[in-house]
Structure 1
Amino acid sequence: MKSKVIFTGLFSLLFLAGCQQNQTTTPTSTTTQTSETTVVSSTNKSEDSSTANSVTSSSEASSSQSTNPEIKVSVERAIELFQNKYPDAAVTSLELDSDWGSYFYKIEGVDDENEYSVRINANDEQLDAENPERLDRDEQNGQKKSEDALDVSNLISIEEAGKIAVEKVGGGTATDWDLDKELGTTYWDVKVKNGNQTTNVKINSQTGEILSTEIDD
């Protein structure tokens, strides 16, 4: 009788030990699965981040390519270079074109006695000045200066003027910019080439308002 009781007790102890072992193993397996899920999630986030960075980089590259690489000197900077050389002169004419094979500004101006003309490389700011010319007697003492001086304050940029002109024409490329004055209004005259057609668009140089358009024959 005692033997049966001892045997039954031993069997119960072994049975309980086996159950406890099974219960301990289960959480370990669950923990492993959770860790694997976390790794996969992190990997997906990294891939998403890489994709977003790639899209941003492509967008930035596209934007930088839209700017004419030959024109690195702004119109404000070109005028500043002219005025640094001739502090008392007023700007009476400004052109930006590529007639010499690359883009140059040609700026003319006058003071009370002389007329000046310079050419500025639109890529590296190199300035070449012509010899000053003496004004006629009736143009001296500020006469020509007051009549022909352009308003160069608050100018819209050549990029903005070109964009306005191209949109007005309906497509094409802005190739030349002239700053001039008529009836007291300073304006940009922008040449736009669209296929075989060339159009000149006059734009108020301060407000961006289109003043007129003319198609070259």
Structure 2
Amino acid sequence: MKKIILLSSVVLSLGVFAGCSSQNIDSGKTTKSSSSQVSASSNAVSSSTSESSTSEPVYKVSLSDAIETYKETYPNTDIISISLDTSFGQTVYDIEGIDDNKEYSLKINTDTKEIKKEREENLDRDEKDGVKRRENKLDLTNLKDMKEIFDIALKEAGSGKIDDWEIKEDMGVTYWEVSIKDGMTKEIEYKINAQTGEIIETDID
């Protein structure tokens, strides 16, 4: 009788031990799974932060499409400036052009491609006969992509967001003038060669 009782005790002890071991193993799996979930969540947050920190203006209507629309509206003219206009709660490309005797302006909605406003006026006497046209026309060949220009400015600034931009010409050089705002007060303006991407001037306000 004693042998039977002793054997039962041994079997009972083994059962308890096996149960504890199983519980420990399951606990380890749970801990490992939880750690994996935390790690994955952390990576997702990091990725999201990275994407938002490099955010920049994106327009449904590309700059090249806007230029093409201008050329279709005013053929046989040259463009002398392109800028962004955010008046009246809408964002539009403001494109100014010229021929030998007149100056033209066209506003194109950056979302819908709708032409918002057309304007033309006669040049002053000393600007006519192609004088101003030769001096101010933009070189639109081999332009760097807008995103690439913005990336150059943002990388140089280190932080901040694109606030405004314009494409101009000076002394035969076509360049982007990109303004970056960092906080409430700091503003940096870069002049970037439109063909090479070289920063030719920096102005910190």
1:178 and 2:177 correspond: no
Pair 85,150 (structure 1): closer, same or farther in 2 beyond 3 Å: same
Equivalent of 2:124, from 133, 136, 147? Answer: 136
Q: Which residue number corresponds to residue 151 of structure 2? A: 163
Q: So what's the TM-score if we normalise by structure 2?
A: 0.69
% identical equivalent positions? 42
2:95 and 2:107 in contact (8 A); partners too? yes
Measure how far apart 1:66 and its partner are: 6.2
Equivalent of 1:208, from 174, 197, 204? Answer: 197
Q: Which residue number corresponds to residue 83 of structure 1? A: 71
Equivalent of 2:115, from 105, 113, 127? Answer: 127
Q: So what's the TM-score if we normalise by structure 1?
A: 0.66
Distance in 2 (alpha carbons) for counterparts of 1:109 and 1:71: 22
Distance in 1 (alpha carbons) for counterparts of 2:77 and 2:83: 17
Pair 206,70 (structure 1): closer, same or farther in 2 beyond 3 Å: closer
Distance in 1 (alpha carbons) for counterparts of 2:57 and 2:166: 19
Aligned residue pairs, count: 158
2:83 and 2:95 in contact (8 A); partners too? yes
Q: Which residue number corresponds to residue 92 of structure 2? A: 104
Pair 67,169 (structure 1): closer, same or farther in 2 beyond 3 Å: closer
When structure 1 is superposed on structure 2, of 172-181 and 132-141 the one drifting more is: 132-141
Superposition RMSD in Å: 2.4
Distance in 1 (alpha carbons) for counterparts of 2:154 and 2:87: 20
For the pair shown, which has the larger CA radius of gyration, 1 or 2? 1
Q: Give the alignment of 1:7-156 within 5 angstroms.
A: 68=56, 71-156=59-144
Question: How far does the alpha carbon of each residue in 1:95-134 deviate from its partner, in whole angstroms, 9 at most, with x for none?
Answer: 0243442321101011112110111111111113333101
Letter in 2 for 1:104: V
Pair 100,163 (structure 1): closer, same or farther in 2 beyond 3 Å: farther
